[in-house]
Amino acid sequence: MANLMGDKKASFLRLVEERALSKEEKKKLQDALVPYIPKDCISNILLRLPLESLQRSRFVCKPWYTIINSLKFIDDHLKRSESVLIYISSIKEENLYPFSTRPIAFEKPNTFSVEAKLLQSESVPVLGQPNINPTLKCYIKFLEINNGRSKIGEYSVSCTGHIRAACNGLILLENKLKKGGLIVVNPVTRKLISLPLGTLCPADKESYGFAFCTVTGEYKVVHLFQDELRYFGCEILNLGTRVWRAVNGPSFGLLRWLGCLPVLAIGALHWVPNIDSSDYLVSIEVDKERFHTIPLPKSSRYHDRIVEMRGFLSFVTHEEENQIGVWILKGLGELWTKQLSIKTGCILDMVPLYSLRIKGDLVFKRDEDGSFYAYDFQLQVMRKIEMEKERLKMSGMYHPHVNSLISWSSRERSQDVFY
């Protein structure tokens, strides 16, 4: 009996050794066929992949997943990403058929619903979840401009609220499940977080700014609102703490209009205080959270705007003789400098939208027909953008945006999980 047990143990040990040798031989064979590629080289290759390919590459193997989720890769990817215009498009309008009398609202397969994910994260029972009217749902899309052509991109993400602000790939959405509520979501990674209620007021009496504070490394939401006495109040929320704090608003009479979106540049958020004939900007420093005014180099007109250009603040204004002047402010407390004048011919209704953060082109939109133009600073040429056959169906406003893998806190960035 003892001999039989000994033979079985010896046979089992031989089997284990054979399998171990087999694994070693397979690994040696694999190493011989697939040459070793340094981690930095793999990272550089992955950085150059299109967004859709990068999403799929996360699941190729564990080393690639680790690289793509690392803080260094996320930051490097943000630095290489070009600016786009993000907007929402009504699902109901996209499902109109030539011979249909009633629009049909249904989502495409595998669509990520912001509201459904929010209810799931808050552990709301299925029977207790509110019914969401499908006709109110919209897709989140983006318009990409490259080499004189436009391309409409999709995230396969739906929502019911409008986009209120955007920063570094994160967008601030209205939370239609809670009156006055807000949601921060990254449409690329599909991570989201709901924000507590702040001061409630009509949409046309408030404005939201979204900024990253380089001093503290935190994202801040700035809520500017007008009360019944026409005074402007302000409250700020840090995404790390998710608590609204009241701060001193701008002095009475400085702001008269909140129609233009605030622009983040040179460490501050900037508002144009009037729809026409403004001589200054109303700005709040992201770090110190104090309001002040910045004089403009000349009085603004109806089609004039401020935009962020390569980190600086730019004032784009229509001048005499069918020209557009581009002024640059490189820092708070400094003076405006004129960069150049752009000849537009007989086109007078060019509204500046945003600047491409990598290539540097300045993108305009005509009021008359909605066509897009881009000015190339290197070639000093204004070109009309060739649009896709698909009609640009925007619901609400569009925002300058960058597709990124960014999260809102260092803790979240170190524990990124993608859906």
Q: How many CB atoms lie within 10 A of CB 210?
A: 22
Query: Cα(71)–Cα(92) distance, rounded to whole angstroms?
Result: 39
The conformational region for residue 40 under phi > 0 = left, psi -120 to 50 = alpha, else beta, is alpha
Query: Cα(199)–Cα(208) distance, rounded to whole angstroms?
Result: 12
- Which pLDDT score is estimated for 22? 61
Strand pairing of 268-271 and 263-265? antiparallel
Q: Which of 42, 43, 112 is nearest to 80 (CA)?
A: 43
The conformational region for residue 226 under phi > 0 = left, psi -120 to 50 = alpha, else beta, is beta
- Which pLDDT score is estimated for 296? 96
- Which pLDDT score is estimated for 5? 55
CA dist 239 → 236, 242, 268 (Å): 10, 5, 17
Query: Cα(304)–Cα(386) distance, rounded to whole angstroms?
Result: 24
Phi, psi (deg, nearest 5) at residue 40? -65, -35
- Which pLDDT score is estimated for 411? 44
Q: Which of 354, 399, 400, 403 is nearest to 169 (CA)?
A: 403
Q: What is the pLDDT along the chain (419 residues), one digit of tens a residue?
A: 555 555 555 666 666 565 665 655 655 655 555 566 778 888 888 888 888 788 888 888 888 888 888 889 999 999 999 999 999 988 876 665 444 555 555 778 888 999 988 888 777 776 667 777 777 889 999 999 988 899 999 899 999 999 999 999 999 999 988 888 999 999 999 999 999 999 988 888 999 999 999 898 899 999 999 988 889 999 999 998 999 999 999 999 899 888 889 999 999 999 999 888 899 999 999 999 999 999 999 999 888 999 999 999 999 999 887 889 999 999 999 999 999 888 877 677 889 999 999 999 999 998 888 889 999 999 888 999 998 765 555 555 789 999 999 988 654 444 443 33
Query: Cα(336)–Cα(270) distance, rounded to whole angstroms?
Result: 15
Q: Label residue 286 exposed, middle or buried (CB < 10 Å: 0-12, 13-18, 19+).
A: buried
Whole-number CA gyration radius for the chain = 26
Strand pairing of 83-90 and 305-309? unpaired
Secondary structure E strands in 135-217:
138-146, 149-159, 163-167, 170-175, 181-186, 191-195, 206-213
Query: Cα(72)–Cα(66) distance, rounded to whole angstroms?
Result: 11
